[in-house]
Structures are given as structure tokens and as C-alpha cells.
């Protein structure tokens, strides 16, 4: 499948088939198989879409031209009212199905800090950093 989609470069430095079939080769092929089975239309579809988007970008075409953003409908909740309690109870039941993702990038150099930004203290009383606060908030839901 990778050869058919023009991904030959992935194997340019590989030994011949049957030679040095080590864990790294097997791990890559297992990962490719997993990605192929989990992406709608497989990796061939992913590669085709990526090429189309790159070609569009090269000529300045915006893939979201024609779309109009809109504010989604939602609920305005007041802490403690019946609706709030109902939604909170529903959320507590579903929390086991939630994945939390924290996108972290860059250092706090502009802030005069040598570490990553989420390691900065979020308040001065205890010195609790942002990352610890996020973790404790998530753990409090268990």
C-alpha cells in the first residue's frame, strides 16, 4: 500500500526483504497497518487529501472558502439551578469516556523562565504550576 501511494522513500535505506527484519521494521509496519485501518478510507485517502491540500495551498486556494462560521447553539447555565445540576450529573456519568489533551509548546523564555510554560506557577501562595493544577483538576473528577 505504501509503495502504491508513492511512499517508496520510506524504504530507501532499508535492507532487502528478509535481511535485518528487526523490531523497528516490524513496529513501523504495524503502525502503518493500524493507521491504515483507523483512518476513514485508509492511508491512501489520507495521502490523496494531503496532496490535494498542499496543491491548493501552493496556488493560494483556501480549503474553507465558501464556509460561513456560525455560533453553535448551547445552554446558558446558572450554577446550582436545576438545569445545571442535571447537566452536571450527566457529565459525571460520561467523564469516563472523555480524553483530555493539553497542547504544550515552547519555553517561557519571553517571560524570563527557562522551563516549559506549563511548569510556571499559576499562583504565588502555594507555587502550584499550571500542569499540576490541570492534573489535579482532572483527577478530582475520578
Over residues 73-91, the pLDDT tens digits come to 998 999 999 999 999 999 9
User: Greater confidence, 134 or 14?
Assistant: 134
pLDDT of residue 127: 92
Instruction: Give the CA dihedral 57, 61, 67, 72, nearest 10 degrees.
Output: 20
In angstroms, how far apart are the furthest CA atoms of the chain? 68
Residue 103: Cβ-neighbour burial (10 angstroms; 0-12, 13-18, 19+): exposed
Is pLDDT at 55 greater than 80 in this prediction? yes
Average pLDDT, rounded, for the chain: 90
- At residue 116, the 3 state secondary structure works out as strand
pLDDT of residue 93: 93
pLDDT of residue 136: 95
End-to-end CA distance of the chain: 42
pTM for this structure?
Answer: 0.49
Cβ–Cβ under 8 Å, residues 24 and 16? no
pLDDT band at 13 (very low <50, low <70, confident <90, very high): confident
User: Greater confidence, 96 or 113?
Assistant: 96
Amino acid at each position: 500500500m505504501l509503495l502504491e501511494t508513492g511512499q517508496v522513500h520510506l524504504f530507501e535505506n532499508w535492507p532487502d526483504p528478509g535481511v535485518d527484519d528487526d523490531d523497528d521494521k516490524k513496529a513501523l509496519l504495524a503502525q502503518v497497518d493500524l493507521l491504515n485501518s483507523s483512518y476513514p478510507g485508509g492511508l491512501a485517502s489520507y495521502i490523496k487529501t494531503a496532496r490535494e491540500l498542499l496543491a491548493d495551498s501552493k496556488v493560494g486556494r483556501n480549503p474553507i472558502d465558501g464556509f460561513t462560521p456560525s455560533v453553535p447553539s448551547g445552554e446558558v447555565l446558572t450554577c446550582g439551578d436545576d438545569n445545571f445540576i442535571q447537566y452536571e450529573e450527566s457529565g459525571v456519568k460520561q467523564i469516563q469516556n472523555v480524553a483530555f489533551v493539553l497542547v504544550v509548546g515552547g519555553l517561557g523564555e519571553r517571560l524570563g523562565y527557562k522551563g516549559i510554560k506549563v511548569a510556571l506557577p499559576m499562583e504565588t501562595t502555594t507555587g502550584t504550576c499550571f500542569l499540576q493544577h490541570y492534573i489535579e483538576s482532572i483527577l478530582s473528577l475520578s
